[in-house]
Amino acid sequence: MPVILLLASFSVSAESPVTTSDASATSVSQTSPAVSLLHNYQQAFHQRQYELSYIVVRQGHIEPVRLIHGVVNGVEVAHRVYLNGPANEAVYREGTVAFFEPGQSPYSLASSRLPGMFGNLAAVKLEDLQSNFDLVIAGKSRVAGRPAQVMRIVPKSSDLYGLYLWIDYASHLPLRLDVVDQTGELIEQHMAVTLAEYEKPSEWMTELASLELPSTVMGKESVDKQEHQINWRLGWSPKGMKVAQKEQHSLAAISESVDYIKLSDGLFDISVYANAVGKTNPLREQLVRQGATSLHTVVRKGIEITVVGEIPPETASKMADSVTIGPYFEKPIEPAQ
CA 221 to chain centre: 23
Residue at 229: amino acid letter: Q
Residue at 323: amino acid letter: V
* pLDDT at 311 (0 to 100): 97
CB 134 within 8 A of CB 53: no
Query: Right CATH number for 34-210 from 3.30.70.20, 2.60.40.10, 2.50.20.10, 1.10.1740.10?
Result: 2.50.20.10
φ, ψ for residue 160, nearest 5 deg: -125, 160
* pLDDT at 303 (0 to 100): 87
CA 113 to chain centre: 8
Inter-CA distances, 307 with 1, 260, 294, Å: 36, 10, 8
Beta pairing class for 324-325 and 293-300: unpaired
Q: In the chain, which residues fall in CATH 2.50.20.10?
A: 34-210
* pLDDT at 278 (0 to 100): 65
Using CA atoms of 277, 283, 286, 288 in order, give the dihedral in degrees to the nearest 10. -130
φ, ψ for residue 251, nearest 5 deg: -95, 120
DSSP structure string for 116-163? SHHHHHHHS-HHHHHHHEEEEEEEEEEETTEEEEEEEEEESSTTS-EE
Q: How far apart are the first and last CA of the chain?
A: 47
> Taken in order 250, 252, 255, 260, is the CA torsion positive or negative?
negative
- Dist. CA 314–CA 215, nearest whole Å: 37
* pLDDT at 282 (0 to 100): 55
CB 3 within 8 A of CB 87: no
Q: What is the pTM of this model?
A: 0.82
* pLDDT at 265 (0 to 100): 94
CATH topology for 232-325 is: Phosphorylase Kinase; domain 1 (3.30.200)
* pLDDT tens for each residue of the chain, 337 residues long: 333 222 233 233 334 333 444 444 444 445 699 999 999 999 999 999 999 999 999 988 999 999 999 999 999 999 999 999 888 899 999 889 998 777 788 889 988 888 889 999 999 999 999 999 999 999 999 999 999 999 999 999 999 999 999 999 999 999 999 999 999 999 999 999 999 999 999 999 999 999 899 988 765 443 344 344 578 889 999 999 999 888 765 554 445 668 889 999 999 999 999 888 765 555 568 889 999 999 999 988 888 899 999 999 999 999 999 999 876 554 544 554 5
CB 323 within 8 A of CB 235: yes
Residue 180 buriedness (CB in 10 A; 0-12 / 13-18 / 19+): buried
Q: In the chain, which residues fall in CATH 3.30.200.100?
A: 232-325
